[in-house]
Amino acid sequence: MKRQPTLDLTTFATAPDDARVRIGTTAALYGVSANTVWRRVKAGLIPKPHRDVGTTYWKAGDLRRALAGTAQCSPQK
């Protein structure tokens, strides 16, 4: 199965909602470290990531809605 390309900060704003965003870009969007991203996911402040064949990613649309304050995130148990 061919891997889908992931985004960086230069293409995030114009990417389609279903584009994949990796942890480094997610951390940069929030201005935090990767460890802090995971803490905020657990606290429900950042949307839960998707997992596919050993790859963890967020969807660009989910992150845009969360950054705009229109998404509802639920804490992980």
The pLDDT value given to residue 5: 54
Q: Find all residues with CB under 8 Å of 60, minimum gap 6, and list them.
A: 7, 12, 15, 16, 17, 18, 19, 20, 21
Answer yes or no: CATH 1.10.1660 is held by domain 9-68.
yes
Cβ 30 vs Cβ 9: under 8 Å: no
Domain ranges of the chain: 9-68
- pLDDT tens for the chain, residues 1 to 77: 555 556 778 889 899 999 999 999 999 999 999 999 999 999 999 999 999 988 999 999 999 999 998 766 666 65
The pLDDT value given to residue 8: 78
Cα–Cα distance measured from residue 43 to residue 6, given in angstroms and rounded to the nearest whole number: 25
Q: Give phi and psi for 58, each to the nearest 5.
A: -110, 155
Whats the size of the chain, residue-wise?
A: 77
Full-model pTM: 0.82
The pLDDT value given to residue 69: 85
